Amino acid sequence: MDQARKTISGHCRVDAVGKVFGSADSGPEIVLKNCSFEVPAGSLTVLLGPSGCGKSTLVQLVAGYDTPTLGNVTLDGVSVTGPGTDRIVVFQETALFPWMTLLDNVAYGPIQMGIPRREAESEASALLRDVGLKAFEDRYPSQISGGMQRRAEVARALIARPKLMLLDEPFRGLDHMSRGLMQEYYLKLFDQHQTTTLFVTSEIDEAIFLADRLVILSYKPTTVQTVIDVPLPRPRDFQMLTSSVYGQIKEQALDLLYNEALKAFDQPAIPANGGVRGTA
């Protein structure tokens, strides 16, 4: 891995961002309201919020696929005004080309950018090795499991050398064991490549296990409730989920998220220490 790849960049700032959808017929819907947070360069920052709160909308704005109604998004001090190769998004759905092998899928981007095929394939092969897929580089996406496809997509994103990786619930839909393994794989890749990452999830355990810091969101109109640092050491393993530090962070996150999640069901909020939450 060359030294340029180890350069830590990708400081992202979301500054007082608001987003309104709607039309003259349906009326406005305020999805995001005065959202402000930072993704420090070299960090793994996790957006955590109730389902449907607008996490994916924030990803679209940071990626440059959409523009804020109010506020500004910057990457290393430069305003985001559209998509760019300095940001790569890994979505929930697979985007691998079904007619290409895994090696060809991962090498595709660099080849299109003019990198010689042999060089692109060499780096693609190395990345597939990093994600445990070296033995499968000649397979097609339909010939491997969903978890393997996820790993190949992460490799395809990393080969582009983005300043910022955006992962929008990338492990959603995987079975419990595959999801846990994917979390471990991604942490190893993060430790190795040091790519600044904004990871989106609605799963508290996943969020705490991965994150350097949690950005906890409210329900719509969505704003940032708080930011929680996660002082668990790296490298991490699942035994950390039994630590007192983990338990304290989880309790704090649950207290913040529970009543927000209830709003999605149009139910009145109840005390955070009451009802069934305490038995979950």
User: What string of DSSP letters covers 35-103?
Assistant: EEEEE-TT-EEEEE--TTSSHHHHHHHHHTSS--SEEEEEETTEE--S--TTEEEE-SS----TTS-HH
- Please state, in angstroms and rounded to a whole number, the distance separating the CA atoms of residues 61 and 201: 17
> At residue 266, does pLDDT exceed 80?
no
- Does residue 237 surpass a pLDDT of 50? yes
pLDDT at 268: 47
Looking at residue 50, what is its pLDDT?
Answer: 84
Query: Please, are residues 246 and 232 in contact by the beta-carbon 8 Å criterion?
Result: yes
Q: Which of 119, 174, 130 is nearest to 149 (CA)?
A: 174
pLDDT at residue 247, rounded to an integer: 92
Residue 118's pLDDT is what? Answer: 93
Q: How far apart are the C-alpha atoms of 52 and 129, rounded to whole Å?
A: 36
Neighbour count for residue 26 (Cβ, 10 Å): 8
Q: Check residue 136 and give its pLDDT.
A: 95
Peptide bond into 235 cis (omega under 30): yes
pLDDT average, residue stretch 28-52: 91
- The share of the chain scoring above pLDDT 90, in percent, equals 55
| pTM to 2 decimal places | 0.86
Inform me whether the pLDDT recorded for 190 exceeds 80: yes
Task: Specify the pLDDT at position 24.
Answer: 57
Q: Are 43 and 196 in contact (CB under 8 A)?
A: yes
Interatomic CA distance for residues 155 and 127, integer angstroms: 6
Has residue 19 got a pLDDT over 80? yes
Average pLDDT, integer, range 242-260: 89
Per-residue confidence band for 198, with pLDDT thresholds at 50, 70 and 90:
very high
The whole-chain average pLDDT of the chain stands at 86
Reply yes or no on whether the pLDDT at 178 is more than 90: no
Residue 225 has pLDDT above 60, yes or no: yes
Homologous superfamily, domain 3-86+162-279 = P-loop containing nucleotide triphosphate hydrolases (3.40.50.300)
DSSP string, 147-166: HHHHHHHHHHHHTT--SEEE
Pairing of strands 196-201, 164-168: parallel
Domain boundaries defined on the chain: 3-86+162-279
Instruction: Give the mean model confidence (pLDDT) for residues 6-13.
Output: 80
